[in-house]
Amino acid sequence: MREALRSLGEAMLIRFVRLEGRKFLELKRGIERGFLSKGPLGKKVALYVHIPFCRQLCAYCSFNRYPLDEELAREYFKGLRKELDLYIDRGFSFRSVYLGGGTPTVMMDELSSFLEYLRLRQPIDEISLETNPRDITPENVRLLKDLGVRRLSMGVQSFDDRMLRAMGRFSHNGLEAIEKIKLAQGVFDTFNIDLLYNFPTQKPEDLKEDIRIVKELGVDQVTFYPLMPAPRKHKAIERRFSKIDHGRERVFYRMILDEMMQDGYVPSTVWCFSRGDHMIDEYIIEYPEYIAIGSGSVGLYGGVFYANYFDLTNYLQRVNSGQFPIAMSKRLTRKELLHYHLLTQFFGMSLRREVHRELFGRDPEEELGIELLVLRLLGTIEATQGGFRVTRRGMYVVSGMMREFFTGLNRLREYCMSRRI
Ligand SMILES: C[S@@+](CC[C@H](N)C(=O)[O-])C[C@H]1O[C@@H](n2cnc3c(N)ncnc32)[C@H](O)[C@@H]1O
Ligand code: SF4
């Protein structure tokens, strides 16, 4: 009975995030006044740069991405530099940069010039970058290292060719992914690979085999993404295969935890497991605020959550005429900011009282007393000397909460793309 109540409470928490997340993501057209002239909430602001091109588009993916058109991509990189200038000229400075996509490495010459330009304008401590196995060659690995990339993250999703085909991912096969891992492993401070789970045709044994390969290769860091497509992609996957069952997700997740923890991997987020020192992962945990540039990127700054134009013509028109290409935005309430912070910190395994106080000027219990009490009663978190940490059981709940938040974000992306915003 107690267990049933607990499970019900956990399911309600995940549902709560789904509903609150939707409200959080109800952005309005236009740019909230004056938010870019406000100082940052904490001391640090990260920069996210979106490169929306891929050589082949995967069927499950809900990010803003377009098939590579070289001429357009060159225009785009020019626009990106203009957008960066808009921020730097306003006094923004960034020490940490995350380039995501799409596939940032689709045009290496443009990427190199962009990073060189960025470095000329500002000293950068940390560059993280996403890539696809297809772009990993000995030359590119050397170039990325020389450009100062410290964390390289490569999407693999699965080593199983049947799974890759079912997912509609044709950029590489399993054996190629293994070869590419061998090329990049050990070169960067952190080398991460992404695996996808809970695809309808995937069985726990399939994921277990993927994990076995990862461990055998000694990969530094693995991020496990539960499948979380936007509504249209969700329907298309279910039409073609079968229902996406979140109930199965728990079985997969338990296996991930067992398999990774028994081999010395430590969770740096509830999705990301690392081995060794100096591992870098999600910027949203370390940086309470981040500026986003590039089409279809989302940022959080000065208490405002915003999304850039997704449509490339709209995006380029704005940046080429010297305007911020922000399509939608929303000023968050203090409660929304507190909830966002709570979620991202627990996604990163712990909430540190000191960090919270520095950001919000009060102890977490003062404004999040009920939320923390419920999470503690359900056994999702426990108190520590410096704050709170997620329990082993709680990791699945936080994973479900984060999946709901990101699914909401994917819904927003799909909305903007389908309306050519
Ligand atoms: C934006 S992609 C960039 C990686 C690179 N373009 C590649 O795919 O090789 C980052 C990661 O997001 C994850 N991802 C993309 N679409 C997803 C979805 N619908 N559900 C869950 N994870 C997803 C994949 O694991 C992917 O590796
Ligand atoms: S998963 Fe990566 S390669 Fe595939 S479409 Fe999405 S961004 Fe492009």
Two tokens at 409?
Answer: 């974000």
173-219 pLDDT, tens per residue?
999 999 999 999 999 999 999 999 999 999 999 999 999 999 999 99
Q: Whose atoms come closest to the Cα of 133: which ligand? A: 1
Tell me whether the CATH fold assigned to 1-26+338-416 matches the one assigned to 35-284. no
- H/E element, 3: helix 2-24
Q: Which CATH class is domain 1-26+338-416?
A: mainly alpha
pLDDT at res. 279: 62
> What are the residue ranges spanned by the domains of the chain?
1-26+338-416, 35-284
Most informative mutation of 158, 199, 210, 225 for ligand 1 (most atoms within 8 A of CB): 225
CA of 308 to the centre of ligand 1 (A): 20
Would the pLDDT of 257 be above 80? yes
At residue 122, the 3 state secondary structure works out as coil
Q: How many angstroms is it from 285 CA to the middle of ligand 1?
A: 19
Residues 6+ apart with CB under 8 A from 181: 154, 156, 191, 193, 217, 219
- How is domain 35-284 classified at the CATH fold level? pyruvate-formate lyase- activating enzyme (3.80.30)
Residue-wise pLDDT tens digits, 46-92: 999 999 999 999 999 999 999 999 999 999 999 999 999 999 988 89
Mutate to test the pocket of ligand 2, among 53, 58, 196 (most ligand atoms within 8 A of CB): 58
Question: Could you give the 3-state DSSP secondary structure of residue 44?
Answer: coil
CB-ligand 1 contact for 296 (6 Å cutoff): no
In which band, very low, low, confident or very high, does the pLDDT at 229 lie, cut at 50, 70 and 90? Answer: very high
Quote the tokens at residue 9.
Answer: 């409470």
Tell me the per-residue pLDDT of 356-371, one tens digit each, with 9 for 90 and over: 999 999 999 999 999 9
Q: Is the CB of 244 under 6 A from ligand 1?
A: no
Nearest protein Cα to ligand 2, atom 4: 58
